[in-house]
């Protein structure tokens, strides 16, 4: 299977750990020069970065969170001279002060390197046409794909978001082999193809779909692959780690997300106690960057729930550890009638019902101190709300209300789908 950087992607465990320790010590020396970091680390018990002499010593350091980034807005966490900065991206800030990530030239090269590895992992090669559907702007998705395309020598189709008919036309006209988007946008593409009045319902050149920023179920993956005749890949990364693809992607074996261990240290912690938990157990993933310059992260709590699947060599030949696909976020977990569940579990259950389509909403209403749940779905004639509610009870352990709507009735979005609505 193709690799972009075979030497880095096939290091032995001993080589990786030696490289990680060196990178960790370098990162700590860098952030120690920044007052914001130094204050936080000292408050957490670190008196000198030289005290970290092994990878095990990482556990002695305090955690950083999104609130640190927000408090440091815009550039209090910057560890280089302002004149070295070349670009920045930020989260939407829809729930408060936005999270900013700034980049030096080397940071942009690191991002491009990670993305080039992801593209090669998906089977894309020099000259292949790749369509970028995430927005170009402050959100990192569009530019991350663009930097990666340049690095991997792909033929970049910078479509940005929206205008589904144009997206399909571009894919056909330029014989696009791969594309990247949020997964909740793909049903829009499939609907447009199905409704094509000319009877042309396929995109013959398409082989690869890379999806990030949202969790999605295995059943949704199978539906997309079957309808578009492509192979789906789950790409991972966030603003705080440097953007899309910086922390990894699944390979063509689809046996977990490979984390770029020469770039990041991965820990899985109990979200309640903060203690590192054994491989195989689900918890919150924590990342520490090893090579970033402007705004490195140290023990950053992502809120993403996953587990370490393996540290052994994968069948694809890569030796980096593999984590499970993200099952949800600690702050997205819903609790209804004593049952804990994530929106992805609802999606998985709905996709199992014959006739149910891809669009759905989870409506939460507070009444008399109790949370009532209604799941709105689009479905073909014959599917009833009772059928939906009964199946969800079997899968989730409680009985929600189920409302069924004709296909095309529920609202669509060009970006991330809003699956949970609180009233």
When pLDDT is cut at 50, 70 and 90, the band that residue 338 belongs to is low
User: Do 402 and 254 lie in a common domain?
Assistant: no
d(CA 422, CA 371): 10
d(CA 244, CA 114): 9
Most confident listed range (93-102, 146-155, 362-371): 146-155
pLDDT at 4 over 60: yes
User: Do 80 and 2 lie in a common domain?
Assistant: yes
Domain count, the chain: 2
Q: Last residue of some domain: 276, 304, 332?
A: 332
When pLDDT is cut at 50, 70 and 90, the band that residue 371 belongs to is confident
d(CA 49, CA 229): 51
User: Do 268 and 363 lie in a common domain?
Assistant: no
d(CA 322, CA 311): 7
The boundaries of the domain holding residue 320 are 1-332
Q: What is the pTM of this model?
A: 0.84
d(CA 407, CA 360): 11
Q: What is the pLDDT of residue 410?
A: 87
Specify whether the CB–CB gap between 132 and 180 falls below 8 A: yes
What strands, in cross-sheet order, belong to the sheet with 370-379? 401-405, 370-379, 356-367, 420-422
pLDDT at 315 over 60: yes
User: Do 113 and 255 lie in a common domain?
Assistant: yes
d(CA 71, CA 76): 8
pLDDT digits (tens, 9 = 90+) for 379-397: 889 888 888 888 888 887 7
d(CA 318, CA 316): 6
If 0-12 CB within 10 Å is exposed, 13-18 middle and 19+ buried, where does residue 35 land?
A: exposed
User: Do 261 and 134 lie in a common domain?
Assistant: yes
- Say which CATH number the domain at 8 has: 3.40.50.12780
DSSP lists the bridge partners of residue 64 as 300
User: Do 396 and 323 lie in a common domain?
Assistant: no
């Amino acid at each position: 299977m193709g690799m972009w950087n075979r030497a880095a992607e096939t290091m032995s465990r001993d080589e990786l750990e030696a490289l990680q320790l060196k990178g960790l010590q370098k990162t700590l020396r860098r952030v120690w020069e920044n007052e914001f970091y130094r204050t936080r680390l000292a408050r957490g018990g670190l008196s000198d970065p030289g005290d970290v002499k092994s990878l095990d010593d990482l556990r002695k350091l305090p955690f950083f969170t999104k609130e640190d980034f927000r408090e440091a807005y815009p550039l209090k966490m910057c560890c280089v001279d302002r004149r070295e900065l070349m670009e920045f991206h930020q989260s939407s800030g829809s729930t408060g002060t936005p999270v900013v990530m700034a980049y030096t030239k080397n940071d942009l090269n690191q991002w491009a390197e990670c993305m080039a590895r992801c593209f090669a992992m998906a089977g894309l090669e020099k000259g292949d046409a790749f369509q970028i559907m995430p927005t170009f702007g402050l959100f990192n998705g569009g530019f991350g794909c663009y930097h990666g395309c340049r690095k991997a020598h792909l033929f970049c189709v910078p479509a940005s978001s929206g205008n589904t008919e144009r997206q399909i036309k571009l894919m056909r006209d330029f014989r696009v082999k791969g594309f990247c988007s949020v997964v909740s946008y793909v049903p829009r593409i499939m609907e447009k193809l199905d409704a094509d009045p000319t009877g042309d319902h396929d995109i013959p050149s398409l082989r690869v779909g890379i999806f990030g920023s949202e969790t999605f179920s295995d059943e949704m993956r199978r539906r997309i692959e079957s309808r578009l005749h492509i192979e789906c890949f789950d790409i991972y990364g966030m603003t705080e780690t440097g953007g899309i693809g910086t922390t990894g992607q699944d390979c063509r074996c689809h046996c977990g997300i490979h984390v770029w261990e020469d770039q990041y240290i991965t820990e899985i912690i109990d979200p309640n106690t903060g203690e590192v938990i054994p491989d195989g157990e689900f918890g919150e993933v924590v990342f520490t960057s090893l090579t970033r310059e402007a705004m490195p992260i140290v023990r950053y709590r992502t809120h993403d729930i996953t587990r370490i699947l393996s540290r052994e060599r994968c069948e694809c030949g890569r030796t980096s550890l593999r984590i499970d696909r993200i099952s949800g976020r600690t702050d997205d977990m819903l609790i209804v009638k004593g049952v804990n569940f994530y929106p992805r579990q609802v999606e998985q259950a709905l996709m199992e019902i014959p006739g149910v389509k891809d669009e759905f909403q989870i409506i939460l209403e507070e009444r008399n101190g109790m949370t009532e749940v209604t799941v709105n779905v689009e479905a073909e004639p014959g599917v009833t709300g009772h059928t939906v509610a009964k199946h969800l009870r079997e899968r989730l352990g409680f009985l929600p209300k189920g409302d069924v709507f004709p296909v095309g009735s529920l609202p669509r979005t060009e970006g991330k789908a809003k699956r949970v609505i609180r009233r």
